[in-house]
Amino acid sequence: MDKGTGRIICVALGKGRKHDFRLFKESRTRILSAILSITDSAYQGIAKLHAKSLLPKKNTKKNPLTKQEKAANRAISSQRVLNENVIAVLKRFRILADKYRNRRKRFSLRFNLISGICNYELIS
């Protein structure tokens, strides 16, 4: 997603249940080194693939987060809310919210069409 315009730039789809980070690695989608990647805590280890990445610090029982780390996590979350809003727009079309019951070959086509419709709505 482009932070400036809110448009969907790239989508990666997988067959069946697959973790987000595994799907990202298997899709071989690469991010330019100049672009800052803001992800959620599911993407632990993205720093090995992309140097300019922001992800929230995880809390553990032995090492609770300090006030500064909590504030940093809130700042990251406030930037990530734009991504979550785009996901919510896609869920309005029910392609992500419900189980897809049509032909699997057409899922990527339909998902890309819905992404295009969402991008078109942003322009007009």
Q: Residue 7 falls within a domain, yes or no?
A: no
User: Checking phi first, is residue 94 left (phi over 0); if not, alpha (psi -120 to 50) or beta?
Assistant: left
Q: Residue 102 falls within a domain, yes or no?
A: yes
Q: Residue 1 falls within a domain, yes or no?
A: no
112/122: higher pLDDT: 112
pLDDT computed for residue 69 by the predictor: 93
Q: Residue 10 falls within a domain, yes or no?
A: no
pLDDT digit string, tens, across residues 53-100: 888 888 889 999 999 999 999 999 888 888 888 888 888 888 777 777
Q: Residue 9 falls within a domain, yes or no?
A: no
pLDDT computed for residue 44 by the predictor: 85
pLDDT digit string, tens, across residues 14-57: 777 888 888 888 888 788 888 888 888 888 888 888 888 888 88
The domain tally of the chain equals 1
32: containing domain: 20-123
Q: Residue 40 falls within a domain, yes or no?
A: yes
